[in-house]
Structure 1
Amino acid sequence: MRQPLPAWADVVLVPILSLIAAFLISGLVILGIGEDPVEALNTMVTGALGSAYGWGYTLYYATNFLFTGLAVAVAFRASLFNIGGEGQAGLGGLGVALVCLMLPWPHWALALPAAMIGGALFGAAWAAIPAWLQARRGSHIVITTIMFNFIAAALLNYMLVNVLRPPGSMDPATARFPEGAKLPTLHDIPGLSAVFGPNTPANITFFIALAACLGVWVLLFRSRLGYEIRAFGKSEHAAVYAGISPTRITMIAMLISGGLSGLMAINNVMGEAERLVLNSVEGAGFIGIAVALMGRNHPFGVLLASLLFGFLYQGGAELGLWTSIPLELRTVVQALVILFTGALDQMMRMAVERVFALFRRRTA
């Protein structure tokens, strides 16, 4: 009979061993293309963590992944596989852009709450349609959310080319946001200017993402609604027997999930680009799936996983810039991390269980 692993081994040891395996295979891939894996690792670490510039970009990417990872985790706790984060974050960007362009904002402290509401509402609205189709019509959430990614891309393309593009501009993007809507970067915050460079995009959205992480933890593990979400995700039949409405939980979980994805836009649209451009999400919605899986759908696990993927994104970009290793290797490393922490997670867990079982027999 298999004995369960200790909590620390399941939460910490198994993911670390999976990461080590992924990086070892990545090293073999680098050797296979005739490059030095030690040099590659050194370039990634130095580029992502070895300077104020690198730290700024690492945290910028991690902020995006934290929002989308939390979005996937909330839905998954309700046994809903929301893979529409790309479209929901894109529509969130539209909401942020409309809010920022609507008024000549005198200060970012006024523009930011309004932009957060706009981004969350647009993201939640885009998730509400697949949620309703799942809850009331039985349409599979995976199919509808991934299809809505393409619809969102087409809608954004139309809006940027035909509606929001400034007169005379050839660039499919909105006008620049008012100066009062410009978010302070981490370099602008007293005490952090020595840590983060002046030309990096990391901004105060990082702290909002941390607050969202804490809020999701309180929601899932310290509230009645969170208990209902988790109970429904464990067993729909048992939840219905306990009086929990499947339609209500499906809608609420997906609205929260879509709202979190939409909130990502305050980082990349309002904080970095300061306007809405085509493909502003840049795949962060899909990376959020890997972040949630690696983080075991727990908010603080998602935080750690988002930092790792922020490191991989920035470190991979430095590889493509300073070495002859192709930038696409970043995708290979990410895929291997997803493979070992997701698809092969059970294989690694079984191996660790055998080691623990052997240790127990020898110490019995």
Structure 2
Amino acid sequence: MPPVPVWAATLPGMRVLLCPDKFAGTLPAPQVAAAVADGWREVAPGDDLLVRPLADGGPGFLDVLAEALPGRRVPVPTTDPLGRPTTGEMLLTEGGAVAWLESAQACGLHLLDAAERDPLTTTSYGLGLLIAAAVEAGARTVVVGLGGSATNDGGAGMLAALGAVGLDGTGAALPYGGAALAAAAKLDGLPRLREARLIAATDVDNPLLGLHGASNVFGPQKGADRADVLLLDAALGRWAEVLERDLPGCPSGLGALPGGGAAGGIGAALLALGGRCESGIGLVSRAVGLETVLDEVDLVVTGEGRFDHQSLRGKVVAGVAGAARDRGVPCVVLAGQVSTGRREAASVGVTDTYSLVEHFGGEEHGGLAAALERPAEGLRALGARLARQWSR
């Protein structure tokens, strides 16, 4: 590294906020932030880097919150999207009065091999076990982070684990999966929640049904082909009718409510139970004190694995960029891949974007494989590049 010029020593250091989400499938948010910070410090060691990893409700939600909130993490036996035993966690805060859960620990797409992904048969039953454990532990408020799910069952498995079982026309319990909901005829039993208040921390605002619903938008990511998507959307429509009729307090028009399509329709099931949807990034931002920090920095650096049109709908990048824009602070996005146009990005407050794939030479030259294999290396290099371009 060349010596620092004498005149540069008189310049005040920048205050830079590093607040990325995870890079799904490669690095959790804390490691993303650490890699970028390492690269920045190689070039501008005098700058003040404020590291605040973020999450929007999907995988990594509990990890980020556990670093920011005083509380204790409690292991909970549960099941994965295919009903196999696994272990999840609850984060208990405020003396146990509030329980934080991450649906992806029981329903996550990352828990399945590619060949196992089938939203026709995957279930949210394991999430119901996590909620039941939180309620039995005495939590009065249960916050459920939604995102990254392998399911499209409208929360039917979750409700069954809580004591409200979907039945078909013969009175038999519905089997696991979204396809079975097409035969839903009634709901048997009531959820055992001990009057606990439910909050869905959503990473999307999609409704349960329709063109922008759970099946159409997210079903293909979970293994659904076009025929499956049509079947699943119709099945969820039938399930919504049953919930509205048989679940006391379920709001009318359930299939169109914002956030109902989160995590394959688990959002709708939580709404049907009297819960409410809140922005996942909003909840995490308050927990880590993001609003206060944003008032004190010169530059914001955020990011995620793929920056695309879905990033503009309630995810970490959009929330951070909007808050930075409101303060007149530039916001830079680092991503594995960038497919959002400059004008679209600017509309939510993004100043500039940087892609790991492009850093490694572009997709046509093996950049995608390199980005997946060596993300920390690429993020350190991009951190150094940012420092050269932005630091005083």
Q: Which has the higher helix share?
A: 1
TM-score, reference length from structure 2? 0.21
Instruction: Say which structure, 1 or 2, has more relative contact order (CA 8 Å, 6+ apart).
Output: 1
Greater share of strand residues, 1 or 2?
2
